[in-house]
Structure 1
Amino acid sequence: MKKIALVLFAAGALSACNQKQKTETVAANPQFARMLDQYYEGSLKLYPLGATYIGDNRYNDQLPNDGSAAYISTVKKFSQQYSDSLKNYDRTALNENDALSYDVLKDQLDMNMEGLKYHFEYLPFNQFYALPLTIGQLGSGTGAQPFKTVKDYDNWLKRVTAFSVWADTATANFRKGMAAGLVLPKALVVKMYPQLLSMVVKDPKKSLFYGPVNLLPKEFSAADKKKITGEYESAILNVIVPTYKKLGEFLQNEYLPKARTTSGYSSMPGGTDMYTYLVKQQTTTTRTPEEIYQTGLKEVARIRSIMDSIKNKTGFKGDLNAFFEYMKTDPRFMPYKTPAQVLAAFDDIHKRMEPNLKKMFNVTPKTPFEIRQTEAFRAASASAEYNQGSADGKRPGIFYVPILDAKTFNTTSGMESLFLHEAIPGHHYQISLTQENTSLPKFRRFGGHNAYVEGWALYCESLGKELGLYTDPYQYMGALGDEMHRAIRLVVDVAIHTKNMSREEAIKYMMANEPASEQYATAEIERYMAIPGQALGYKTGAMKIRELRNRYEKKLGAKFNLAEFHTQVLKDGSLPLSVFESKMDNWAGKQ
């Protein structure tokens, strides 16, 4: 999973490739380009956290009260303004690149406007997706919020004050949700208030938010250091601690008794419509929840059949669940002694597939790439992840691997498929090539669509054999386990939110179909309860890319070139799947 910045803009592409292959006869429209740029700039002001995450520091002191009626009204006016602006342009008169921008922006604005029909603000955060947690990451001094200048330190104090206001509004919205019957499940609430109350300290030096004081730059004057230290200690004790305490105690004492015992959205008034909207938003398709559910059932059966055949080829005696247990526990699958050996094994995966990568990709990123061990302070709760590099290439794309104990790091966990997804050619290729394209409007260069970004990364896992990987049956089983996990999501996410599947039933289903511990399955199922629909994007996007590849291989025959297909998939960046399919069909038609 890519570490997602809180940006609501779609993505871009390959400038060199675009210039090389450009067949457009219509010139770019300067007025249209100005409108797109104004939209991007306006979006940064509306979503300043997103600006911080992409390295635009102009709004680092701001944090909008995004649950307030005034803010929601502003978002509505902003979306309507640009919906009206789009009507001033004839899409058929735009060149190919501008026409894609038109389609992406229209989809984004329509989706935003539709979302305003629902009171999502009544569920302002949860244990997984929460501004209180993001604020902790930013305020630790090791996140995206910079602490390099005195102004940086002042900016953070202003953001903290705004967070206190945000928290009061969140509490008021939770109460409105209680009155309307729109409440979170108890199983999630019991995870939330301990997160908040853990921020309550008596000694400011023991606060996570004291991190920036410990990291004060040496070049600061003694007077500045003293002033900042005093201000931060005061902010921690008088603003931050009381805010988290009040929010945590509200959830524990007032909200928890009113929280629901059910797991899914359909048990709430209007919840089915809310979920159907989220499915559309996260998959960027018009597929119904039931269609996605049926696809999931078929995929689980298909992948399980392949798993059975691989198990039998190894000569293992026993059923599939026993084989899962064998792979998880047998010492032969834990050969490493040090973290360096684990990182070297991932580097070896890269080296082994490099000759085949050159055959399958004509264009590769300029952004540097590194494999690093996840820092110790966050390794216990971290998953392997990709952190994108900077658009200028100065900060590399980093594949982080958490290694708590190298001696228990299991090779059958799907190391090869994990590298293909998180690193190369998955997130590193797609995101870096997108950011490097300076010829596209900024709103398409930064951010992305869940189904496209995660769909591409999951599709890349399916390239293992073509890249010379998955020759070991246990590595292939690891890859199948990863694919099965995404197929299971299609079943349980929809079943939880439309078919009254309980949390416990979903956990049981997951454990029966993949090598997942109860602790892992519980965390995953609670994630789907907290952010409905998000987990559907992976498999939906990957299946669409594979469907198009199969279609064009059949249609074009000897004219089909896989490297060129991959160039076309990536060259215009992240698109809604409906726009993406239309674009790809146009390309295939010209071949």
Structure 2
Amino acid sequence: MNKSFSTAALLFGFAAVLSCGNPTPKTVSDAEINAWFDAEYEELLQMSPLQLATQGRKDRYDQIDDMSEAGEDQRLAWMEASVEEMKEKFPLESLSPEARVSYQLWEYQYEMEKSDVAFRRMNYVFNQMSGPHTMLPNMLINFHRVDESADMEALIKRYQETGRAITQLLERAKLQTAAGVRPPKFAYEYVIQQSKALLQGQPFSSDAAEAPLWKDALTKIEKLEKEGKITAEQAETLRSNAKMALTQKFKPAYEELIAWLESELPNLEEKPTGVSRHEKGNAFYAHKLKSSTTTDFTADQIHQIGLDEVKRIQGEMLAIKDQVGFKGDLKEFFKFINSDPQFFFPDTDEGRQAYLDESTAFLDEIKAKLPQYFGILPKADLVVKRVEAFREQPGAPQHYNQGTPDGSRPGTYYVHLSDMKAMPKSTMEGVAYHEGNPGHHMQVAIAQELESVPKFRTQMNFNAYAEGWALYSETLAKEMGQYQNPYYDFGRLVNEIWRAIRLVVDTGIHSKGWTEADAIQYFSENSSIAPGAIQAEVRRYMVIPGQATGYKIGMLKIQELRKLAETELGDKFDIRRFHDRILGGGALPLDILEKEVKRWIAEEKVREQ
């Protein structure tokens, strides 16, 4: 059987593992099975030009992934054959504890990939949060490095390939619609707006401004010319070819997408509930919760955890309110935080730069303290940047994009700054730690730099683990001496209650029939998040069901495991070694993470004897 596998299988978790039996298996060395994993992973990577580019590689540099359902089927068949081969070659009982984890992860991702097939037309193909219509241009601008003339020629071919990919994805959206699954109306309204922004300006119109991809192309070609790597004549040829690819391949695909989306608007619901309104919606949501949390928690259980956490965090909020001497109740304090000018930068270019500068300063400050809490430290750099204009949304959440394993592209903390009223100073510090160090950047960079595990594990991402670690990091930063301003410490709690509210609101929308208005009301009554940000958040949950639940579930598990280690080890507990155990094996599903921490505790007891 030919083997092929989905890039998505690397980015999200997958389900349980069964051991295979051989009563007296020979011992397999870690080097032997890791070499097999590395060979399989290399074959897998070669099937995804985008994953290769994400990792800073130039293999298949002029291509874009096959985005069709048939392509997914081929990749799943490859993974099935790979897992079967693994079971035949490497009986689970013959492996070391570390190799067993790799074995389990390789099968885990296949099992979840296989279970995704039943719901492949349930995930909204185009939405305002994670749609390929903005992801692909973003990758072409930020991930496709141009060092030589051949790289620019490859980029021009990728403009053409993007048109093909968008056409394939549009076909999938049409299949989804035929199956009776449509997103809320606002999702397509955003996608139309974002897609049109990509076509505004030269070379698509006679406007003085330059469209994002054209501006990027001109910059990259000019750089080659200034470095003496191409002549003026070659530069002109590259500009001409880039213009042709954008206007003849890229533009028609996006125009077709926009036209179809606009034709669909009358058929979409203005005030929808969650995915439970679709056929198989409840089963789909249960699947998404399992994928996002890597647990078997039901929607009702997650909803209750959220309610309990909201109540607990509000108690801590009241303590800070009293500390700063505010005389009103918590809701009045929320209003004060949301409206007093001291908590906002000016809505000007200077104000936006101040937000970036202060965020960078917080990250520089905590970076100096990392060796006190971590033995393993990231080598990769981190930068703070404003989101590109074509995909920027008022009030949308900040996010992190990983760098390359070799450090040639740094990790990037992206900030939406089009509406400074949606970006209060009070929450800025905690978000910087979440997205940067010791949060996402530290976790992802360390994983990518690991040399003790097979390469596929350095690139894995499980939502509950990654987001749980980042949220844990916000609280860890307080332990490290940050949040000297009590209002910023309150902002930390605002960020945490935000994630607790997500448990309530996400499950409310998708399993309890809540409308957008219901979700916004609960959010508003229980947090000081700015109104614009609340709407953006609720709309995020509506189009990406379950994803937002991973943060708090993951954080609670990491805190639970730390408490267990502290109790079991007593004075022998070393915070640096604990954090190294959490981060030193790459991303893991929560059940496997728990087993690994318990194994580490047992090893620590022996080590200290």
The TM-score, its normalising length taken from structure 1, stands at 0.88
Residue 18 of structure 1 corresponds to none
Q: How far 1:203 sits from its partner (Å)? A: 4.6
Residue 82 of structure 2 corresponds to 82
C-alpha distance after superposition, 1:4-59 (max 9, x if no partner): xx764379xxxxxxxxxxxxx97634442233123312322333212211112112
Q: 1:10 to 1:102 in 2, by over 3 A?
A: farther
Q: How far 1:565 sits from its partner (Å)? A: 1.2
**Is 2:510 the partner of 1:497?**
yes
Structure 1: how far apart are the matches of 2:136 and 2:410? 24
Residue 51 of structure 1 corresponds to 52
Give the match's secondary structure for 1:116: helix
Structure 1, unmatched stretches of 5+, are 1-5, 12-24
Q: How far 1:448 sits from its partner (Å)? A: 1.7
Residues 493 and 536, structure 1, Cα contact 8 Å, conserved in 2? yes
Give the match's secondary structure for 1:315: coil
Residue 195 of structure 1 corresponds to 194
Structure 1: how far apart are the matches of 2:33 and 2:527? 49
Residues 494 and 529, structure 2, Cα contact 8 Å, conserved in 1? no
Residue 491 of structure 2 corresponds to 478
Residues 462 and 588, structure 2, Cα contact 8 Å, conserved in 1? yes
**Is 2:212 the partner of 1:208?**
yes
Q: How far 1:540 sits from its partner (Å)? A: 1.2
Q: How far 1:373 sits from its partner (Å)? A: 4.9
Residue 303 of structure 2 corresponds to 293
Letter in 2 for 1:392: D
How many percent identity over aligned positions?
30
Residues 67 and 124, structure 1, Cα contact 8 Å, conserved in 2? no
Superposed, 1:415-434 pairs within 5 Å as 415=429, 417-434=430-447
Q: 1:213 to 1:423 in 2, by over 3 A?
A: closer
Residue 136 of structure 1 corresponds to 137
Q: 1:370 to 1:49 in 2, by over 3 A?
A: closer
Structure 2: how far apart are the matches of 1:271 and 1:239? 36
Q: 1:85 to 1:289 in 2, by over 3 A?
A: farther
Q: How far 1:542 sits from its partner (Å)? A: 0.8
**Is 2:383 the partner of 1:374?**
no
Instruction: Give the counterpart of 1:227 among 237, 240, 250.
Output: 237
Structure 2: how far apart are the matches of 1:130 and 1:301? 35
Structure 2: how far apart are the matches of 1:344 and 1:137? 23
Residue 466 of structure 1 corresponds to 479
Q: How far 1:265 sits from its partner (Å)? A: 0.8
Instruction: Give the counterpart of 2:587 among 551, 574, 583.
Output: 574
Structure 2: how far apart are the matches of 1:449 and 1:167? 27
Residue 106 of structure 2 corresponds to 105
Q: 1:159 to 1:348 in 2, by over 3 A?
A: closer
**Is 2:427 the partner of 1:413?**
yes
C-alpha distance after superposition, 1:212-270 (max 9, x if no partner): 44121213223322322222222222222221111111111146425685231110011
Residues 403 and 411, structure 2, Cα contact 8 Å, conserved in 1? yes
Residues 137 and 143, structure 1, Cα contact 8 Å, conserved in 2? yes
**Is 2:251 the partner of 1:241?**
yes
Letter in 2 for 1:290: D
Q: How far 1:563 sits from its partner (Å)? A: 1.9
Q: 1:370 to 1:202 in 2, by over 3 A?
A: closer
Q: 1:61 to 1:263 in 2, by over 3 A?
A: farther
Q: 1:514 to 1:575 in 2, by over 3 A?
A: same
Q: 1:159 to 1:28 in 2, by over 3 A?
A: same
Structure 2: how far apart are the matches of 1:251 and 1:340? 35
Q: How far 1:75 sits from its partner (Å)? A: 1.9
Letter in 2 for 1:157: I
Residues 127 and 192, structure 1, Cα contact 8 Å, conserved in 2? yes
Q: How far 1:96 sits from its partner (Å)? A: 2.5
**Is 2:330 the partner of 1:329?**
no
Q: How far 1:112 sits from its partner (Å)? A: 0.6
Structure 1: how far apart are the matches of 2:504 and 2:546? 11
Residues 124 and 543, structure 2, Cα contact 8 Å, conserved in 1? no
Structure with larger RCO (C-alpha < 8 A, sep 6+): 1
Structure 1: how far apart are the matches of 2:511 and 2:423? 38
C-alpha distance after superposition, 1:397-454 (max 9, x if no partner): 4545666799997432241x22322222222322222122223211111242121111
Residue 22 of structure 1 corresponds to none
Structure 2: how far apart are the matches of 1:118 and 1:405? 36
Residues 385 and 415, structure 2, Cα contact 8 Å, conserved in 1? yes
**Is 2:501 the partner of 1:488?**
yes
Structure 2, unmatched stretches of 5+, are 1-6, 13-25, 205-209
The TM-score, its normalising length taken from structure 2, stands at 0.85
Residue 455 of structure 2 corresponds to 442
Superposed, 1:276-315 pairs within 5 Å as 276-315=286-325
Residues 129 and 530, structure 1, Cα contact 8 Å, conserved in 2? no
Residues 126 and 188, structure 2, Cα contact 8 Å, conserved in 1? no
Structure 2: how far apart are the matches of 1:67 and 1:193? 22
Instruction: Give the counterpart of 1:555 among 557, 560, 568.
Output: 568
Structure 1: how far apart are the matches of 2:416 and 2:54? 22
Give the match's secondary structure for 2:165: helix
Greater displacement, 369-378 / 388-397: 369-378
C-alpha distance after superposition, 1:457-502 (max 9, x if no partner): 1111112332112343212211000001111111111111111111
Structure 2: how far apart are the matches of 1:352 and 1:145? 31
Greater displacement, 553-562 / 301-310: 553-562
Structure 2: how far apart are the matches of 1:530 and 1:296? 20
Instruction: Give the counterpart of 1:531 among 538, 544, 568.
Output: 544
Q: How far 1:339 sits from its partner (Å)? A: 6.7
Greater displacement, 525-534 / 210-219: 210-219
Letter in 1 for 2:425: T
Residue 72 of structure 2 corresponds to 72
Residues 212 and 390, structure 2, Cα contact 8 Å, conserved in 1? no
Q: How large is the Cα RMSD of the aligned pairs?
A: 3.0
Structure 1: how far apart are the matches of 2:200 and 2:400? 32
C-alpha distance after superposition, 1:100-139 (max 9, x if no partner): 1111111111111111122337732212111111222234
Greater displacement, 331-340 / 267-276: 331-340
Structure 2: how far apart are the matches of 1:232 and 1:543? 49
Greater displacement, 488-497 / 224-233: 224-233
Aligned pair count?
A: 568
Structure 2: how far apart are the matches of 1:191 and 1:543? 34
